[in-house]
Amino acid sequence: MVVKKDDRREPFDRAKIITGLKKACEKRPISMETIEEVADRIEAGVLERGEREVQSAIIGEAIMAELQVLDQVAYVRFASVYRSFKDANEFMRELEELIKVRKTEPTAAGTARGKKDGASS
């Protein structure tokens, strides 16, 4: 079960992860195969926890971590909805953090490119 922010509980739904990824990746050079692979990793991570319930925030953060490596535009799209930025300053802080991470991890961009064009890791 997934525990939502308002304490509601609902069954884990992989289709919701796929839908969120597809929206974030719309018009980006990311194949459906890659989206499925990301959803597989997130689902496996949830199952590996071995818990009957998982906070929705854990799933959201896992999606953001995957998108941050995969495609930074998709990451910002997802983050803007997931984090519900209240103003442009919050949005700019997120972008600044993304740029800082990008500068400290130059190999992540190469890895993401390989995933987007279908190359194996």
Confidence of residue 114 (pLDDT cuts 50, 70, 90): very low
Percentage with pLDDT > 70 across the chain = 86
Amino acid at 13: D
- CB 102, CB 108: distance < 8 Å: yes
| Tens digit of each residue's pLDDT (9 = 90 or more) over 16-46 | 999 999 999 999 999 999 999 999 999 999 9
Burial class (CB in 10 A: 0-12, 13-18, 19+), 87: exposed
| 3-class secondary structure per residue, the chain | CEECCCCCEECCCHHHHHHHHHHHCCCCCCCHHHHHHHHHHHHHHHHHCCCCCEEHHHHHHHHHHHHHHHCHHHHHHHHHHHCCCCCHHHHHHHHHHHHHHHHHCHHHHHHHHHHHCCCCC
